[in-house]
């Protein structure tokens, strides 16, 4: 059958025609196979989110933590919405660069991998990353899944023995075409070729190995992208993928000769070859879903989070492998940009990594989580400095949010340490009480906040959700400041009702903020909600009802004792001498070089 496809999303123009081979079934059949009606029913309340699995050739840095915290935030958010949620991450342990790193460390590959894998795991536990599965590609269950996946592709005629000749980047474990490399010189002045995308050195490779018929999938990939709005988010990354699909899409080498790569999964039936590490790594998402036996349920609700450097592997190779194996592509791929230091991508080879263990000690784990999710913008890179972290956390967590909680729960304003009542005459629906127009604007903003935050969290624009919360917190502080409740006369019945109303409204605002902040800063949110006396079963996001008394509805809180005072919500941080000290040291070094 000869098919031609016109892709209209985002202004994409016509693409060439494609000869559909008999070994490929139509995309629509494959989508419906995996998303059968029973799966659709179950998937309503199920969600499966994955973070990338991390290379173990180096220790974790703040960029890695960001990838995994985004996924953790989504997992927690879905649980709070009543979903059954699965969240997987882990370590990517095969490949030449891991083999070389183990050699350099003088260790057996397995012992080396175990050491670094545990380091990642310890960091994630320390930062309250609540994965439900931590997968290592060296596990037996994963080997079985890769073997089964390989045999499925092979049996469908999608893998053939061929001869590969071209460029290969070991640090990226990536094959490159002539147009993807450039001339450069190395540190010793020798002429080399580098990958245009990553800047890593590439080498010429000529090997007999197994090839995957990637070239046959262009039309199906475009069809998938066209039929699945939101398949790749944000939009600018979808456009990148569409551009790549307009370029050459040669068949992909999916094995390496065993003599070159011993540290990998042997190709089923041909132990002279090892499975290409990206094919091996990507299958981890299926392994966790239960592949090859029982994966339908979780696979039908799978969403990936990936950094922009690994988009091509996830948006082109992976869906092609899946379609080839008769499985649906993931529901969505959420792409994020990078953390940089002085404008340069943080990476071990550049020696500019920020240590997340150290920073979580300095700023607390919630502090670090809040900073990364509040400042990390999916669409563009963000520069990391300790100074920015301190400034942001002091302003938003310590002063604004912490200050509001402290004011409204302090014995001076709240001598009985209870949740006070709301007086509808002081703050009526019609504006003839003691509230002023700005107060109504504030109520309106907080009333809408859960919906606004939901929209941003759902699209993984966590920073926008946090921006909206921070803006409401500022408005609530403005509300308290405007009415100076500490100046009201508690002996006067009218003043007392108004004072109670101000505190009631402020605590209601705080309850909404605390509930919405749970996926991002679980400890701070718990401390806040516990101080307000909000019980565990009152913290989910489905029935978040702000200020019901204002709408004449019953509110369970008035008269309830506040929770114990366990200290300030978030301690102010010292000004970041670290950065200044580093700058001073660099200045000193420069000066001494010139003396
Ligand atoms: N092992 C592969 C992923 C395989 S997934 C089937 C890999 N590993 S990695 O350790 O190099 O990167 C893991 C994740 O960390 C990627 O999403 C990558 O984009 C992210 N980051 C690595 N450096 C980063 C920054 N400087 N900033 C933000 N994220 C960064 O790729």
Alpha carbon distance 135, 462 (integer Å): 26
The whole-number average pLDDT for the span 96-110 is 95
SS3 of residue 36 by DSSP? coil
At residue 55, what are phi and psi to the nearest 5 degrees?
-65, 140
The whole-number average pLDDT for the span 510-534 is 98
DSSP run (H or E) holding 344: strand 344-345
How many whole angstroms from 198 Cα to the centroid of ligand 1? 12
pLDDT of 199 reads 85
How many whole angstroms from 51 Cα to the centroid of ligand 1? 9
The whole-number average pLDDT for the span 476-498 is 96
Using the CB atoms, write b or e for 172-198: b if 16+ within 10 Å: bbbbbeeebbeeeeeeeeeeebbbeeb
Probe residue for ligand 1, chosen from 54, 95, 345 as the CB with the greatest number of ligand atoms within 8 Å? 54
SS3 of residue 54 by DSSP? strand
Other C-beta atoms closer than 10 Å to the C-beta of 559 total 11
Task: Choose between 16 and 298: higher pLDDT.
Answer: 298
Say if residue 223 is preceded by a cis peptide, omega within 30 of 0: no
Is residue 577's pLDDT more than 90?
no
How many whole angstroms from 283 Cα to the centroid of ligand 1? 16
Alpha carbon distance 76, 465 (integer Å): 15
How many whole angstroms from 64 Cα to the centroid of ligand 1? 6
Q: Tens digits of per-residue pLDDT, 450-471?
A: 999 999 999 999 999 999 999 9
At residue 334, what are phi and psi to the nearest 5 degrees?
-100, 125
Which ligand 1 atom lies nearest to the CA of residue 307?
19
pLDDT of 40 reads 40
Q: Which among 476, 500, 477, 504 has a CA at the least distance from the CA of 488?
A: 500
Is residue 34's pLDDT more than 60?
no
pLDDT of 25 reads 46
The whole-number average pLDDT for the span 438-444 is 96
Please report, rounded to a whole number, the percentage of residues in the chain having pLDDT higher than 90: 79
- Strand pairing class (84-92; 133-136): parallel
Q: Which among 411, 380, 482, 7 has a CA at the least distance from the CA of 222?
A: 7
Bridge partners of 273?
257
Q: From atom 25 of ligand 1, which residue's Cα is the shortest distance away?
A: 63
Q: Contact 275/144 with Cβ under 8 angstroms?
A: no
Alpha carbon distance 500, 413 (integer Å): 9
How many whole angstroms from 67 Cα to the centroid of ligand 1? 7
Is the CA virtual torsion 228, 232, 235, 236 positive or negative? negative
Q: Tens digits of per-residue pLDDT, 374-409?
A: 999 999 999 999 999 999 999 999 999 999 999 999
For the packed helices 462-483 and 365-375, what is the interaxial angle rounded to 10 degrees?
110
Other C-beta atoms closer than 10 Å to the C-beta of 231 total 20
Q: Tens digits of per-residue pLDDT, 262-314?
A: 999 999 999 999 999 999 999 999 999 999 999 999 999 999 999 999 999 99
Distances (CA, A) of 339 to 336, 377, 379, 395, 417: 10, 10, 12, 22, 44
What's this model's pTM, rounded to 2 decimal places? 0.89
Is residue 37's pLDDT more than 70?
no
- Note the Cα 440 to chain centre separation in Å: 35
Average pLDDT, the chain: 89
Q: Where do we find the tokens 């079985």? A: 144
Alpha carbon distance 253, 248 (integer Å): 15
pLDDT of 430 reads 82
Distances (CA, A) of 376 to 68, 454, 579: 13, 18, 20
Q: From atom 6 of ligand 1, which residue's Cα is the shortest distance away?
A: 282
Q: Radius of gyration over alpha carbons of the chain, in Å?
A: 28
Which ligand 1 atom lies nearest to the CA of residue 318?
6
Could you tell me the pLDDT band of residue 223, with boundaries at 50, 70 and 90? Answer: very high
Of 6-10, 247-251, 304-308, give the lowest mean pLDDT range: 6-10
Residues whose beta carbon lies within 6 Å of some atom of ligand 1 = 52-55, 63-64, 66-67, 92, 281-282, 284, 306-307, 309-310, 338-339, 345-346
The whole-number average pLDDT for the span 489-511 is 96
Q: What angle do CA 70, 72, 73 make, to 5 degrees?
A: 65
Could you tell me the pLDDT band of residue 68, with boundaries at 50, 70 and 90? Answer: very high
Bridge partners of 333?
232, 304
Give me the torsion for CA of 579, 582, 587, 589, rounded to 10°: -170
Q: How far apart are the first and last CA of the chain?
A: 77
Q: Where do we find the tokens 């309250």? A: 128
The whole-number average pLDDT for the span 570-594 is 57
pLDDT of 165 reads 85
Alpha carbon distance 383, 178 (integer Å): 32
Probe residue for ligand 1, chosen from 172, 276, 310 as the CB with the greatest number of ligand atoms within 8 Å? 310
Q: Where do we find the tokens 């920020």? A: 354
How many whole angstroms from 190 Cα to the centroid of ligand 1? 29
> If you count them, how many residues does the chain have?
595
The whole-number average pLDDT for the span 534-540 is 96
Is residue 563's pLDDT more than 50?
yes
Task: Choose between 488 and 17: higher pLDDT.
Answer: 488
Is residue 174's pLDDT more than 70?
yes
Annotate 355-415 with DSSP letters as a single string.
-HHHHHHHH-HHHHHHHHHHH--TTS-EE--HHHHHHHIIIIIIIIIIHHHHHHHSTTT-T
The whole-number average pLDDT for the span 12-34 is 39
pLDDT of 433 reads 87
Alpha carbon distance 265, 319 (integer Å): 21
Q: What angle do CA 241, 247, 253 make, to 5 degrees?
A: 90
Characterise 460 by phi-psi region: left (phi > 0), alpha (psi -120 to 50), beta (else): left
Under DSSP, the state recorded for 28 is H
Task: Locate 380 and state its tokens.
Answer: 């563009």
Task: Locate 316 and state its tokens.
Answer: 């082109």
How many whole angstroms from 197 Cα to the centroid of ligand 1? 14
How many whole angstroms from 63 Cα to the centroid of ligand 1? 7
């Amino acid at each position: 059958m000869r098919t031609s496809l016109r892709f209209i999303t985002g202004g994409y123009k016509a693409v060439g025609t494609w000869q559909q081979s008999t070994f490929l079934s139509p995309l629509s059949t494959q989508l419906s196979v995996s998303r059968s009606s029973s799966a659709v029913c179950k998937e309503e309340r199920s969600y499966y989110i994955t973070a990338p699995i991390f290379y173990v050739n180096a220790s974790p840095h703040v960029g890695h933590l960001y990838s995994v915290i985004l996924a953790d935030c989504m997992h927690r958010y879905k649980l709070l919405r009543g979903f059954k949620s699965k969240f997987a991450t882990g370590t990517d342990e095969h490949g030449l660069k891991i083999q070389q790193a183990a050699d350099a460390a003088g260790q057996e590959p397995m012992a080396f991998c175990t050491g670094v894998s545990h380091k990642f795991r310890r960091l994630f536990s320390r930062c309250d990353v609540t994965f439900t599965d931590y997968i290592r590609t060296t596990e037996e269950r994963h080997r079985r899944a890769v073997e089964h996946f390989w045999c499925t592709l092979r049996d469908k005629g999608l893998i053939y023995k061929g001869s590969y000749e071209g460029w290969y980047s070991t640090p990226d474990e990536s094959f490159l075409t002539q147009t993807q490399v450039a001339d450069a010189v190395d540190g010793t002045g020798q002429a080399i070729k580098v990958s245009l995308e990553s800047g890593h050195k590439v080498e010429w490779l000529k090997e007999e190995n197994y090839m995957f018929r990637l070239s046959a999938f262009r039309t199906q990939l475009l069809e998938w992208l066209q039929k699945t709005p939101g398949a790749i988010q944000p939009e600018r990354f979808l456009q990148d993928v569409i551009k790549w699909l307009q370029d050459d899409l040669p068949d992909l080498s999916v094995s390496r000769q065993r003599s070159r790569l011993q540290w990998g999964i042997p190709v089923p039936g041909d132990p002279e070859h090892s499975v290409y590490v990206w094919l091996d790594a990507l299958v981890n998402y299926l392994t966790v879903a239960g592949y090859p036996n029982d994966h339908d349920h979780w696979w039908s609700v799978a969403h990936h989070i990936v950094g922009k450097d690994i988009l091509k592997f996830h948006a082109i190779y992976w869906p092609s492998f899946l379609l080839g194996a008769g499985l649906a592509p993931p529901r969505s791929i959420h792409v994020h940009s990078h953390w940089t230091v002085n404008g340069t991508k943080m990476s071990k080879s550049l020696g500019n990594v920020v240590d997340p263990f150290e920073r979580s000690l300095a700023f607390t784990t919630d502090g670090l989580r809040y900073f990364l999710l509040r400042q990390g913008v999916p669409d563009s890179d963000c520069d990391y400095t300790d100074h920015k972290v301190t400034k942001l956390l002091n302003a938003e967590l310590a002063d604004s949010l912490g200050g509001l909680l402290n004011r409204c729960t302090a014995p001076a304003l709240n001598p009985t340490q209870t949740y006070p009542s709301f007086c509808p005459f002081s703050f009526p629906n019609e504006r003839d009480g003691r509230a002023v127009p700005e107060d109504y604007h504030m109520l309106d903003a907080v009333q809408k906040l859960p919906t606004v935050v939901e929209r941003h969290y759902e699209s993984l624009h966590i920073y926008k959700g946090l921006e909206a919360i921070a803006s409401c917190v500022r408005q609530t502080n403005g509300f308290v400041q405007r009415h100076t409740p500490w100046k009201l006369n508690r002996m006067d019945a009218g003043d007392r009702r108004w004072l109670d109303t101000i505190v009631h409204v402020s605590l209601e605002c705080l309850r909404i903020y605390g509930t919405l902040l749970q996926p991002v800063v679980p400890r701070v949110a718990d401390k806040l909600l516990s101080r307000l006396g909000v019980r565990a079963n009152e913290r989910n996001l489905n029935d978040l009802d702000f200020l019901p008394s204002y709408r004449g509805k019953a509110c369970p809180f008035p008269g309830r004792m506040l929770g114990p005072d366990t200290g300030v919500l978030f301690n102010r941080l010292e000004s970041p001498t670290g950065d200044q000290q580093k700058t001073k040291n660099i200045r000193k070094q420069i000066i001494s070089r010139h003396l």
